Structure 1
Amino acid sequence: MSKDLSLFIGQLLRNPREISAVVPSSRALAMAMAAPLGPGIGPVAEFGPGTGRITREILARGVSPRDLVLYEMNGAFCERLRQTFPAVRVVNRPAQDAARDFAGRLGAVVSGLPLLSIPEPVQRDILAAAFKALAPGGIFIQFTYGPKPPVAQEVRQALGISALPGPRVWHNLPPARVYIYRRAAENIAAM
């Protein structure tokens, strides 16, 4: 068993309410999440990086380690992330802090948070913070195991954001779908 899987399962057993998946994301899902990124995207925040599977792919897409910050609430995951990615900034704070830390400067937010299992008011707070942190034209990338977008319609309307379905990833347990969120006005302007 890999060190990452061992850590993941250990944290799942110790803190089942903090860990929403039964296994880490597959490499195929991580690649799909990182696909919209590249070296010119600017600063990127990852929400809920866990053991760093998606982090690896973000860096593989050319995002500089100095342009990547990881928001992780689980202390054991933070320690592993700091060891694995020493040039990447890892913060043991909630995703909502990104609004204060970046205020309109992020090119993208990549989220591994279990939005479907997060209460709607908290979901709204996380998305509001992400879009306050994002620069104009910035994107919020999220995956879901469910059949519909992971951000509730009410939250999307209240925040003025729209969902664009991305690829379905069959090589993941369970299969997942990637969504890209933008400010709705920016989607209309791009048409």
Structure 2
Amino acid sequence: MRVTAADLVDSVAEAKLKVAAVRYKVESEVRSTAEKFKSRVSEARAKLGDEARFIKSWIDDPLRTGSVTPSSPALARRMASFVDPEQPGPVIEIGPGTGPVTEALIERGIDEARLILVEYSPEFCELLRRRFPRATVVQGDAYALSTTLEGHLNEKAIALVSSLPLFNRPPATRTALAREAFPLLVPGAPFIQFTYSVISPIPRKGSGLKALVSDWVLRNIPPARVWVYRQIS
């Protein structure tokens, strides 16, 4: 079989195209791998940064922070699962810290603009405003909730989600928090609170509240449960 110069040119051109295709595929895979690696490094840095902030906050004021690590995604999702995203109205979150439960609420379907985040730490407030620019971030004392939310809550909320370390406070203070919170909520709205303890963080006797409790969320340090309180109608 006779091979002409034109055949050789075509063969070389075809080989170049194949080489170019292989090179493009390899470069694309390398870029994709590099982007994934950068993303994982960024996520790891953010997680370490959040944990470092929590440790610093706990050292500065252990009574208010209560934990040296943020809530895990598993615990945050469990807390968010008790909020109905289809029900219109704002959602109050107290003690959001670096925002793991806030993220879970948004993933649950709560529009960011519906969230009112009450945080005592100015540093955490600054971080929350950067991460959730459409949410309302209020720097103030959650244990004086009515006063803190003056001018920020224009209608009753459909849920209150709390990550406050309630067991750092005496029973009377915990009871007072619940009594102040429920008038800010629509009838039947849940007060959602996690705890590391086996007993209810809000004293039940004479509270006028009914409660349900989740099973243990083991993928959290330490394991935790979620209590959901509602007023007895």
Within the candidate set 192, 206, 213, 1:165 is matched to 213
Identity of aligned residues (%): 38
Instruction: Give the deviation of 1:184 after TM superposition.
Output: 1.8
Shift in alpha-carbon separation, 1:53–1:75, aligned structure 2, 3 A:
same
1:24 aligns with 2:49: no
The 8 Å contact of residues 103 and 132 in structure 1, kept in 2 or not, is answered as no
Secondary structure of the 1:135 match is: coil
Q: What letter corresponds to residue 147 of structure 1 in structure 2?
A: V
**How far, CA to CA, are the matches of 2:132 and 2:154 in structure 1?**
24
Q: Which has the higher strand share?
A: 1
Alignment counterpart, residue 153 of structure 1, candidates 196, 201, 204: 204
Deviation at 1:128, TM superposition (A): 1.1
Contact 2:63 2:168 in 1 (8 A): no
CA-based RMSD of the aligned residues comes to 1.7
Q: Is the Cα–Cα contact under 8 Å of residues 145 and 174 in structure 1 kept in the other structure? A: yes
Contact 1:103–1:133 under 8 Å retained in 2 = no
CA–CA distance in structure 1, aligned partners of residues 130 and 115 of structure 2: 15
Task: Specify whether residues 37 and 174 from structure 1 end up closer, same or farther in structure 2 by C-alpha distance, changes over 3 A only.
Answer: same
- Greater RCO, CA 8 A, separation 6+: 1
2:125 is aligned to 78
Do the aligned residues in 2 keep the contact of 1:44 with 1:67 (CA within 8 Å)?
A: yes
Query: Residues 21 and 147 of structure 1: is their aligned pair in 2 closer, same or farther, counting only changes over 3 Å?
Result: same
The count of aligned residue pairs is 182
Counterpart for residue 175 of structure 1: 223
Quote the residue 2:163 is aligned against.
Answer: 112
Pick aligned residue for 1:134 from 179, 185, 202: 185
Moved more, 68-77 or 91-100: 91-100
Which AA in structure 1 matches 2:112? P
Read off the aligned partner of 1:57 and give its amino acid letter: A
Structure 2 stretches lacking a partner, 5+ long: 1-44
Q: Residue 189 of structure 1 aligns with which residue? A: none
Match for 1:150: what amino acid?
A: P
Contact 1:104 1:132 in 2 (8 A): no
With normalisation by structure 2, the TM-score equals 0.73
Give 1:124 shift: 1.9
Higher Rg: 2
Cα contact 1:104–1:136 (8 A) shared by 2:
no
1:152 is displaced (CA, Å) by: 1.3
Deviation at 1:167, TM superposition (A): 3.1
Residues 22-55 of structure 1 show CA distances to partners (whole Å, capped at 9, x for unaligned) of 2111110000000122422321000100110111
Query: Higher helix fraction: Structure 1 or Structure 2?
Result: 2
* Higher mean C-alpha displacement, 16-25 vs 47-56: 16-25
Partner of 2:102: 55
Deviations 1:99-152 (CA, angstroms, capped at 9, x unpaired): 764487110000001112212222122111210111012111111101111111
Residue 7 of structure 1 aligns with which residue?
Answer: 53
CA contact (8 A) 2:95 2:118 kept: yes
